[in-house]
Amino acid sequence: MKFYSKLVIVLIALIGLQGCGEEFLDLSDPNAVSAVTFLKTETDVELAVNGIYSAIRSNSALGEGSALYSDERSDDMGRNDNQSNAGEPFQFNDFSLLPSNTYLKSYWSALYTSISRANYVLNNMEDVNYTNESLKSSHMAEAKFLRALTYYHLVRKWGQVPVITEQIDTPDQLAELTYRETEENVYALIVADLQAAIASTLPNIQPLSGKGRVSKVAAYALLGEVYLTMGSNNIPGQDPSAYFNLSRQNLTEAYSLRSFGDLKDISYASVFDVDQKSTNPELIFQIVYRQSDPNLSSTIARNNQALGETINSQRPSTGAGTRVNLDLVNEYEQNDPRKEFSVKFAPAPTVQQWFITKYRDVSDAAGVNGWGGNNHIMMRFADVILLLAEVNMQLGNDAEAIGFLNQVRERAGLPLYEKAMQDPAYSSEFPTLKLAILHERRVELAFEQKRWYDLLRAFTKEELVDYFQSKNQSEYGQANLQNISTKDRYYPIPFDEYQLDPERMYQNPGYN
């Protein structure tokens, strides 16, 4: 039965939809109905789809606390503590990640739990008699989008991974299907799932009652980013220029569906305002949390806050908060308001470091327990706009790329790109349009779990090593920049997965 430790096989944990907004977070008894006989009605499918949302919400999957697997791998943030929890979290930022790391295994398992829930829905919903075919189409689209999103995280971090689309019921079936597929085939499934979501009856933009659920604009935006990644990473199948054109097409479709005029009409701070999380038009897709609920609330504001500070939460902090690398702090341009909003220096003698202030909830509803109402923003229009800048740059459309870049700079009140390039400090640090866009994404989307993936698109594995090793160690904390090597482009396959089938679950280079 050891095979069950490979790709966790789970019964669906049901999440009940009680009406609108955050209500679909309400937990139902997962043992109330047998998974074997569960999907009989439209409501059954709705509950099972909600179970997928619940799975990605886990901090071991894609929830707000999953920055360990992305932002802490990048140059934006990390930790100096190399002792707690056997020093395993420290390994991500230190580029000393071991296949035996238990956090790595938990991440892998949580992502495949999300996939198994999506597969359960997609493999069993066809026999359900729907009175509303539009609802059926939406349910299928949600499951496929969430499966695609999860595989997209897997393939970028591990490369070749098992592609499971069937409901798995036995160890023998699991053993047969568990082998590493080519990146090309993983991406093919991702693209097919997102194309299906786009062709569905999903609303272009979710109404207030559907916040936290998938929309058509989210599918267009994600597919556009996927094609951009495929082109940047030379995934076989088409020439990079073909992928870039497909990316531009889908990102443009997403951008055209916005419900506002200019980005500058939406303040940066309002995007992260807990009182506007259901109404702010810049938001595309987010994982929802419920303010004041001890089980379903957000903890990101209180967890980020440093000792002696009150900017994030009414809950007094006893620790150092989440450390921000000086490398990021020093990259903000002079008078960039995003710096003041996003980071702060904590002068307490036991802290003496910068911490994250981007996520705040000091309301009485969150209270002294810090049961916040922040949602985990996974996609927003500033991201889409900067992706459009990036893909147009890749296609040689520099004027268009600069136009999109300037939309974000204009909202921040910074000089437009053409003028900024006349400043020796700016042009010296960001001498190319590529580096200027990478910079803008860094400061605009800081701590939104984008940076590591941006670096993987921007650089080859050799360039990535040079990029990190050229940085100032004193601006990076205790993690050793010199540890990085070309192997760190990918994560190691978790040891248990590799050990159970070394031939078909072969280890990534450099981790044996």
pLDDT in tens, 389-421: 999 999 999 999 999 999 999 999 999 999 999
pLDDT score of 348: 97
Mean per-residue pLDDT, 91-113: 97
* Domains of the chain: residue spans and CATH: 39-202+492-511 (1.25.40.390), 299-374 (no CATH)
pLDDT score of 24: 65
Mean per-residue pLDDT, 438-448: 98
pLDDT score of 495: 97
Higher-confidence residue of 391 and 17: namely: 391
Confidence of residue 208 (pLDDT cuts 50, 70, 90): confident
Higher-confidence residue of 186 and 171: namely: 186
Residue 32 has pLDDT above 80, yes or no: no
Higher-confidence residue of 174 and 155: namely: 155
Residue 378 has pLDDT above 90, yes or no: yes
User: 298 and 374 in contact (C-beta within 8 Å)?
Assistant: yes
Residue 2 has pLDDT above 50, yes or no: no
- Interhelix angle 398-411/381-394, rounded to 10 degrees, is 150
Confidence of residue 336 (pLDDT cuts 50, 70, 90): very high
pLDDT score of 16: 33
Helix (H) or strand (E) holding 353: strand 353-356
Higher-confidence residue of 210 and 501: namely: 501
Going from the C-alpha of 381 to that of each of 215, 266, 378, the distances in angstroms are: 13, 11, 11
140-144, 166-170, 236-240 — which is least confidently predicted?
A: 166-170
Mean per-residue pLDDT, 450-478: 97
Q: Which two tokens stand for residue 42?
A: 């439209």
At position 342, the amino acid (one-letter code) is S
Residue 174 has pLDDT above 90, yes or no: no
pTM of the model: 0.94
**Could you give the CA distance from residue 313 to residue 304 in angstroms, rounded to a whole number?**
9
Residue 423 has pLDDT above 90, yes or no: yes
The proportion of the chain whose per-residue pLDDT surpasses 70, expressed as a percent, equals: 93
pLDDT score of 170: 86
Residue 267 has pLDDT above 50, yes or no: yes
Mean per-residue pLDDT, 137-164: 98
pLDDT in tens, 292-302: 999 999 999 99
Closest CA to 280 of 264, 300, 257, 259: 259
pLDDT score of 133: 94
Mean per-residue pLDDT, 436-456: 98
**Could you give the CA distance from residue 407 to residue 207 in angstroms, rounded to a whole number?**
26
Residue 27 has pLDDT above 90, yes or no: no
Residue 37 has pLDDT above 80, yes or no: no
At position 110, the amino acid (one-letter code) is A
pLDDT in tens, 47-67: 999 999 999 999 999 999 999
Mean per-residue pLDDT, 131-158: 97
Mean per-residue pLDDT, 178-196: 97
